[in-house]
Structure 1
Protein backbone atom coordinates (compact mmCIF):
# COMPACT_ATOMS: atom_id res chain seq x y z
CA UNK A 1 0.00 0.00 0.00
CA UNK A 2 1.34 3.44 -0.92
CA UNK A 3 2.27 6.10 1.60
CA UNK A 4 1.48 9.80 1.47
CA UNK A 5 3.45 12.98 2.09
CA UNK A 6 7.21 12.81 2.54
CA UNK A 7 7.27 9.02 2.20
CA UNK A 8 5.07 8.81 -0.88
CA UNK A 9 7.33 6.55 -2.95
CA UNK A 10 5.12 6.79 -6.03
CA UNK A 11 5.38 10.57 -6.02
CA UNK A 12 9.16 10.58 -5.59
CA UNK A 13 9.66 7.81 -8.10
CA UNK A 14 7.43 9.50 -10.68
CA UNK A 15 9.25 12.82 -10.21
CA UNK A 16 12.61 11.17 -10.85
CA UNK A 17 11.24 8.88 -13.55
CA UNK A 18 9.89 11.82 -15.54
CA UNK A 19 13.51 12.89 -16.07
CA UNK A 20 14.66 9.36 -16.86
CA UNK A 21 12.33 7.75 -19.38
CA UNK A 22 14.88 6.99 -22.10
CA UNK A 23 16.25 3.42 -21.75
CA UNK A 24 19.84 4.42 -22.55
CA UNK A 25 19.73 7.27 -20.04
CA UNK A 26 18.36 4.87 -17.41
CA UNK A 27 21.12 2.38 -18.22
CA UNK A 28 23.81 5.08 -17.88
CA UNK A 29 22.40 6.04 -14.50
CA UNK A 30 22.45 2.40 -13.42
CA UNK A 31 26.16 2.35 -14.29
CA UNK A 32 27.12 5.63 -12.63
CA UNK A 33 24.82 6.50 -9.70
CA UNK A 34 26.17 4.02 -7.16
CA UNK A 35 29.83 4.67 -8.12
CA UNK A 36 29.12 8.36 -7.46
CA UNK A 37 27.88 7.44 -3.98
CA UNK A 38 30.92 5.22 -3.41
CA UNK A 39 33.45 7.81 -4.60
CA UNK A 40 31.74 10.43 -2.44
CA UNK A 41 32.81 8.40 0.58
CA UNK A 42 36.42 8.62 -0.56
CA UNK A 43 36.10 12.38 -0.14
CA UNK A 44 33.88 12.39 2.95
CA UNK A 45 36.20 10.03 4.84
CA UNK A 46 38.45 12.98 5.62
CA UNK A 47 35.71 15.17 7.09
CA UNK A 48 35.97 15.68 10.86
CA UNK A 49 34.11 13.46 13.28
CA UNK A 50 30.85 14.83 14.65
CA UNK A 51 30.28 15.12 18.39
CA UNK A 52 33.61 13.31 19.00
CA UNK A 53 32.00 9.92 18.47
CA UNK A 54 34.31 6.92 18.88
CA UNK A 55 35.92 5.19 15.95
CA UNK A 56 35.20 1.59 15.03
CA UNK A 57 38.00 -0.86 14.28
CA UNK A 58 37.93 -2.58 10.89
CA UNK A 59 40.69 -4.86 9.62
CA UNK A 60 39.91 -6.72 6.35
CA UNK A 61 42.76 -8.21 4.36
CA UNK A 62 45.13 -7.59 7.24
CA UNK A 63 44.94 -3.79 6.96
CA UNK A 64 43.53 -1.90 9.92
CA UNK A 65 41.12 0.95 9.18
CA UNK A 66 39.10 3.03 11.60
CA UNK A 67 35.54 3.62 10.46
CA UNK A 68 35.12 7.25 11.42
CA UNK A 69 31.61 8.34 12.38
CA UNK A 70 31.71 11.51 10.32
CA UNK A 71 29.52 13.21 7.71
CA UNK A 72 29.77 10.17 5.43
CA UNK A 73 28.40 7.90 8.15
CA UNK A 74 25.46 10.16 8.99
CA UNK A 75 24.54 10.60 5.33
CA UNK A 76 24.64 6.82 4.98
CA UNK A 77 22.39 6.46 8.00
CA UNK A 78 19.98 9.06 6.60
CA UNK A 79 19.81 7.41 3.17
CA UNK A 80 19.43 3.92 4.63
CA UNK A 81 16.64 5.02 6.98
CA UNK A 82 14.69 6.72 4.20
CA UNK A 83 14.97 3.73 1.90
CA UNK A 84 13.77 1.26 4.53
CA UNK A 85 10.77 3.48 5.29
CA UNK A 86 10.02 3.77 1.55
CA UNK A 87 9.98 -0.01 1.11
CA UNK A 88 11.13 -2.61 3.63
CA UNK A 89 12.47 -5.24 1.22
CA UNK A 90 14.18 -3.17 -1.46
CA UNK A 91 14.95 -0.52 1.16
CA UNK A 92 16.87 -3.02 3.29
CA UNK A 93 18.93 -4.03 0.25
CA UNK A 94 19.56 -0.36 -0.57
CA UNK A 95 20.58 0.26 3.04
CA UNK A 96 23.09 -2.60 2.88
CA UNK A 97 24.52 -1.16 -0.33
CA UNK A 98 24.78 2.28 1.29
CA UNK A 99 26.69 0.88 4.24
CA UNK A 100 28.87 -1.18 1.90
CA UNK A 101 29.78 2.01 0.03
CA UNK A 102 30.62 3.72 3.32
CA UNK A 103 32.72 0.85 4.66
CA UNK A 104 34.57 0.09 1.41
CA UNK A 105 34.96 3.78 0.59
CA UNK A 106 36.44 4.41 4.03
CA UNK A 107 38.77 1.44 3.64
CA UNK A 108 40.04 2.60 0.25
CA UNK A 109 40.39 6.22 1.38
CA UNK A 110 42.51 5.20 4.38
CA UNK A 111 44.57 2.90 2.19
CA UNK A 112 45.25 5.57 -0.46
CA UNK A 113 45.78 8.49 1.88
CA UNK A 114 44.36 12.00 1.65
CA UNK A 115 46.01 13.25 -1.54
CA UNK A 116 45.57 10.17 -3.73
CA UNK A 117 42.08 9.42 -2.40
CA UNK A 118 40.94 12.92 -3.35
CA UNK A 119 42.45 12.60 -6.83
CA UNK A 120 40.77 9.23 -7.39
CA UNK A 121 37.48 10.42 -5.89
CA UNK A 122 37.32 13.60 -7.96
CA UNK A 123 38.30 11.76 -11.16
CA UNK A 124 35.55 9.19 -10.54
CA UNK A 125 33.02 11.95 -9.84
CA UNK A 126 33.95 13.80 -13.03
CA UNK A 127 33.75 10.65 -15.16
CA UNK A 128 30.44 9.44 -13.71
CA UNK A 129 28.74 12.83 -13.77
CA UNK A 130 29.87 13.35 -17.36
CA UNK A 131 28.28 10.03 -18.31
CA UNK A 132 25.00 11.05 -16.72
CA UNK A 133 24.96 14.48 -18.37
CA UNK A 134 25.58 12.79 -21.72
CA UNK A 135 22.60 10.56 -20.98
CA UNK A 136 20.42 13.59 -20.40
CA UNK A 137 21.73 15.77 -23.19
CA UNK A 138 22.07 13.20 -25.95
CA UNK A 139 19.39 10.61 -25.17
CA UNK A 140 16.84 12.03 -22.72
CA UNK A 141 17.06 15.54 -24.16
CA UNK A 142 15.98 16.96 -20.83
CA UNK A 143 17.93 18.63 -18.04
CA UNK A 144 18.67 16.49 -14.95
CA UNK A 145 16.18 16.36 -12.09
CA UNK A 146 18.68 17.96 -9.72
CA UNK A 147 18.22 21.30 -11.51
CA UNK A 148 14.58 21.35 -10.38
CA UNK A 149 14.85 19.66 -6.98
CA UNK A 150 18.41 19.06 -5.80
CA UNK A 151 17.61 17.31 -2.52
CA UNK A 152 14.95 15.01 -3.95
CA UNK A 153 17.14 14.07 -6.92
CA UNK A 154 20.15 13.19 -4.79
CA UNK A 155 18.05 11.22 -2.31
CA UNK A 156 16.08 9.26 -4.90
CA UNK A 157 18.77 8.50 -7.50
CA UNK A 158 20.35 5.41 -5.83
CA UNK A 159 16.96 3.96 -4.88
CA UNK A 160 15.50 4.68 -8.33
CA UNK A 161 18.18 2.76 -10.21
CA UNK A 162 18.03 -0.10 -7.70
CA UNK A 163 14.26 -0.47 -8.08
CA UNK A 164 14.62 -0.25 -11.86
CA UNK A 165 17.21 -3.04 -11.78
CA UNK A 166 15.07 -5.22 -9.49
CA UNK A 167 12.04 -4.68 -11.71
CA UNK A 168 14.02 -5.65 -14.83
CA UNK A 169 15.68 -8.68 -13.24
CA UNK A 170 12.80 -10.23 -11.33
CA UNK A 171 9.71 -8.08 -11.85
CA UNK A 172 9.89 -6.72 -8.30
CA UNK A 173 7.66 -3.87 -7.20
CA UNK A 174 7.07 -2.52 -3.68
CA UNK A 175 3.36 -3.44 -3.89
CA UNK A 176 1.00 -4.60 -6.64
CA UNK A 177 0.25 -1.87 -9.14
CA UNK A 178 3.22 0.32 -8.13
CA UNK A 179 4.90 0.42 -11.54
CA UNK A 180 1.61 0.91 -13.39
CA UNK A 181 0.72 3.85 -11.13
CA UNK A 182 4.18 5.36 -11.50
CA UNK A 183 4.12 4.91 -15.28
CA UNK A 184 0.83 6.79 -15.50
CA UNK A 185 2.21 9.64 -13.36
CA UNK A 186 5.44 9.77 -15.35
CA UNK A 187 3.55 9.95 -18.63
CA UNK A 188 1.37 12.74 -17.25
CA UNK A 189 4.38 14.73 -16.03
CA UNK A 190 6.24 14.31 -19.32
CA UNK A 191 3.13 15.40 -21.22
CA UNK A 192 2.83 18.48 -19.01
CA UNK A 193 6.53 19.29 -19.48
CA UNK A 194 6.27 18.99 -23.28
CA UNK A 195 3.16 21.17 -23.26
CA UNK A 196 4.94 23.90 -21.30
CA UNK A 197 7.93 23.74 -23.66
CA UNK A 198 5.64 24.01 -26.66
CA UNK A 199 3.98 27.10 -25.21
CA UNK A 200 7.38 28.69 -24.63
CA UNK A 201 8.39 28.04 -28.24
CA UNK A 202 5.14 29.36 -29.65
Structure 2
Protein backbone atom coordinates (compact mmCIF):
# COMPACT_ATOMS: atom_id res chain seq x y z
CA UNK A 1 0.00 0.00 0.00
CA UNK A 2 2.77 2.46 0.96
CA UNK A 3 4.84 1.51 -2.08
CA UNK A 4 1.83 2.02 -4.38
CA UNK A 5 1.06 5.43 -2.85
CA UNK A 6 4.70 6.46 -3.17
CA UNK A 7 4.71 5.31 -6.81
CA UNK A 8 1.52 7.30 -7.58
CA UNK A 9 2.99 10.44 -5.97
CA UNK A 10 6.27 10.06 -7.87
CA UNK A 11 4.47 9.41 -11.16
CA UNK A 12 2.23 12.47 -10.65
CA UNK A 13 5.24 14.66 -9.90
CA UNK A 14 7.12 13.40 -12.97
CA UNK A 15 4.06 13.94 -15.20
CA UNK A 16 3.66 17.54 -13.99
CA UNK A 17 7.36 18.24 -14.58
CA UNK A 18 7.27 16.80 -18.09
CA UNK A 19 4.02 18.59 -18.99
CA UNK A 20 5.70 22.00 -18.65
CA UNK A 21 9.24 21.57 -19.88
CA UNK A 22 11.52 24.57 -20.06
CA UNK A 23 15.15 24.93 -20.93
CA UNK A 24 16.38 28.41 -20.10
CA UNK A 25 19.77 27.99 -21.78
CA UNK A 26 18.25 27.01 -25.12
CA UNK A 27 15.43 29.54 -24.51
CA UNK A 28 12.62 27.05 -25.14
CA UNK A 29 9.44 26.15 -23.29
CA UNK A 30 6.75 23.53 -23.86
CA UNK A 31 3.41 24.41 -22.25
CA UNK A 32 0.85 22.09 -20.66
CA UNK A 33 -0.86 21.53 -24.04
CA UNK A 34 2.40 20.49 -25.73
CA UNK A 35 2.91 23.76 -27.62
CA UNK A 36 6.59 24.58 -27.97
CA UNK A 37 7.92 28.14 -27.76
CA UNK A 38 11.40 29.03 -28.98
CA UNK A 39 12.56 32.52 -27.92
CA UNK A 40 16.20 32.02 -28.93
CA UNK A 41 15.72 34.45 -31.82
CA UNK A 42 15.20 37.24 -29.27
CA UNK A 43 18.55 36.80 -27.47
CA UNK A 44 20.51 40.02 -27.99
CA UNK A 45 23.76 39.37 -29.85
CA UNK A 46 25.29 42.58 -28.49
CA UNK A 47 27.00 42.11 -25.11
CA UNK A 48 25.23 45.30 -23.95
CA UNK A 49 21.91 43.41 -24.38
CA UNK A 50 18.76 45.53 -24.78
CA UNK A 51 19.06 48.95 -23.16
CA UNK A 52 16.69 51.90 -23.08
CA UNK A 53 15.73 54.98 -21.05
CA UNK A 54 12.28 55.36 -19.60
CA UNK A 55 10.63 58.05 -17.51
CA UNK A 56 8.55 56.75 -14.60
CA UNK A 57 6.40 58.38 -11.96
CA UNK A 58 7.40 57.94 -8.32
CA UNK A 59 4.12 57.55 -6.46
CA UNK A 60 5.60 56.12 -3.26
CA UNK A 61 4.69 59.21 -1.18
CA UNK A 62 1.18 59.59 -2.58
CA UNK A 63 -1.97 59.77 -0.52
CA UNK A 64 -4.76 57.64 -2.02
CA UNK A 65 -7.33 60.45 -1.76
CA UNK A 66 -5.08 63.00 -3.51
CA UNK A 67 -2.42 61.34 -5.72
CA UNK A 68 0.41 63.46 -7.11
CA UNK A 69 1.79 62.28 -10.44
CA UNK A 70 4.21 65.15 -10.95
CA UNK A 71 7.29 63.42 -9.55
CA UNK A 72 8.90 61.88 -12.65
CA UNK A 73 12.24 60.05 -12.53
CA UNK A 74 14.54 58.92 -15.31
CA UNK A 75 15.72 55.33 -15.36
CA UNK A 76 18.00 53.37 -17.65
CA UNK A 77 17.06 49.72 -18.16
CA UNK A 78 19.09 46.82 -19.42
CA UNK A 79 17.66 43.37 -20.18
CA UNK A 80 18.89 40.17 -21.75
CA UNK A 81 16.70 37.24 -22.74
CA UNK A 82 17.70 33.78 -21.48
CA UNK A 83 21.16 35.04 -20.50
CA UNK A 84 22.74 37.21 -17.85
CA UNK A 85 24.05 40.58 -19.00
CA UNK A 86 27.78 40.42 -19.69
CA UNK A 87 28.50 44.14 -19.97
CA UNK A 88 26.42 46.41 -17.69
CA UNK A 89 25.94 50.00 -18.84
CA UNK A 90 26.91 51.26 -15.37
CA UNK A 91 29.31 48.61 -14.00
CA UNK A 92 30.20 50.74 -10.96
CA UNK A 93 26.59 50.45 -9.72
CA UNK A 94 25.26 47.37 -11.53
CA UNK A 95 27.98 45.03 -10.29
CA UNK A 96 26.17 41.72 -9.69
CA UNK A 97 25.36 39.05 -12.25
CA UNK A 98 21.80 39.58 -13.52
CA UNK A 99 19.45 39.35 -16.51
CA UNK A 100 17.83 42.76 -15.86
CA UNK A 101 18.98 46.06 -14.36
CA UNK A 102 17.18 49.28 -13.47
CA UNK A 103 19.57 52.22 -13.04
CA UNK A 104 18.28 55.38 -11.31
CA UNK A 105 19.87 58.34 -13.10
CA UNK A 106 19.27 60.64 -10.09
CA UNK A 107 20.64 58.54 -7.23
CA UNK A 108 23.07 56.55 -9.42
CA UNK A 109 21.73 53.37 -7.81
CA UNK A 110 21.12 50.08 -9.57
CA UNK A 111 18.60 47.30 -8.95
CA UNK A 112 18.92 43.75 -10.24
CA UNK A 113 15.62 41.91 -10.79
CA UNK A 114 17.09 38.41 -10.87
CA UNK A 115 19.50 35.90 -12.32
CA UNK A 116 19.17 33.29 -15.01
CA UNK A 117 20.59 30.60 -12.74
CA UNK A 118 17.26 30.78 -10.90
CA UNK A 119 14.60 31.24 -13.58
CA UNK A 120 11.51 29.45 -14.87
CA UNK A 121 9.13 29.81 -17.81
CA UNK A 122 5.36 29.78 -17.31
CA UNK A 123 2.28 30.35 -19.41
CA UNK A 124 0.81 33.86 -19.23
CA UNK A 125 -2.33 34.09 -17.07
CA UNK A 126 -4.44 35.37 -20.01
CA UNK A 127 -3.20 32.71 -22.45
CA UNK A 128 -1.50 35.29 -24.68
CA UNK A 129 2.04 33.93 -24.50
CA UNK A 130 4.59 32.98 -21.83
CA UNK A 131 6.72 34.71 -19.24
CA UNK A 132 10.14 34.23 -17.73
CA UNK A 133 10.31 34.41 -13.93
CA UNK A 134 13.58 35.73 -12.53
CA UNK A 135 14.50 35.16 -8.89
CA UNK A 136 17.21 36.15 -6.43
CA UNK A 137 17.61 39.81 -7.40
CA UNK A 138 19.05 42.50 -5.13
CA UNK A 139 18.29 42.37 -1.43
CA UNK A 140 15.49 44.59 -0.08
CA UNK A 141 15.47 43.29 3.51
CA UNK A 142 16.96 40.23 5.19
CA UNK A 143 13.91 38.19 4.05
CA UNK A 144 12.94 39.93 0.81
CA UNK A 145 14.61 40.23 -2.60
CA UNK A 146 13.72 41.83 -5.91
CA UNK A 147 12.43 39.50 -8.61
CA UNK A 148 11.28 40.01 -12.17
CA UNK A 149 8.93 38.77 -14.85
CA UNK A 150 9.51 39.23 -18.56
CA UNK A 151 6.18 38.80 -20.34
CA UNK A 152 6.38 37.65 -23.97
CA UNK A 153 2.99 38.54 -25.46
CA UNK A 154 1.77 37.14 -28.78
CA UNK A 155 1.72 39.63 -31.64
CA UNK A 156 1.83 37.97 -35.08
CA UNK A 157 2.87 41.25 -36.73
CA UNK A 158 6.04 41.85 -34.69
CA UNK A 159 9.37 40.07 -34.51
CA UNK A 160 9.97 42.11 -31.37
CA UNK A 161 8.35 45.22 -29.93
CA UNK A 162 9.94 46.32 -26.68
CA UNK A 163 11.16 45.61 -24.14
CA UNK A 164 9.34 48.07 -21.92
CA UNK A 165 9.21 48.28 -18.14
CA UNK A 166 5.56 48.12 -17.06
CA UNK A 167 5.59 48.52 -13.29
CA UNK A 168 7.03 47.51 -9.94
CA UNK A 169 4.55 45.65 -7.77
CA UNK A 170 4.35 46.09 -3.99
CA UNK A 171 6.31 42.88 -3.42
CA UNK A 172 9.33 44.23 -5.38
CA UNK A 173 8.35 42.30 -8.48
CA UNK A 174 9.43 44.18 -11.65
CA UNK A 175 7.37 43.49 -14.78
CA UNK A 176 8.69 43.85 -18.33
CA UNK A 177 6.79 43.29 -21.59
CA UNK A 178 7.88 42.24 -25.06
CA UNK A 179 5.37 41.81 -27.90
CA UNK A 180 6.58 39.18 -30.34
CA UNK A 181 5.48 36.56 -32.84
CA UNK A 182 7.72 34.07 -30.99
CA UNK A 183 5.10 33.95 -28.20
CA UNK A 184 2.30 32.85 -30.55
- TM-score norm. by structure 2 comes to 0.24
Instruction: Name whichever structure is richer in strand by fraction.
Output: 2
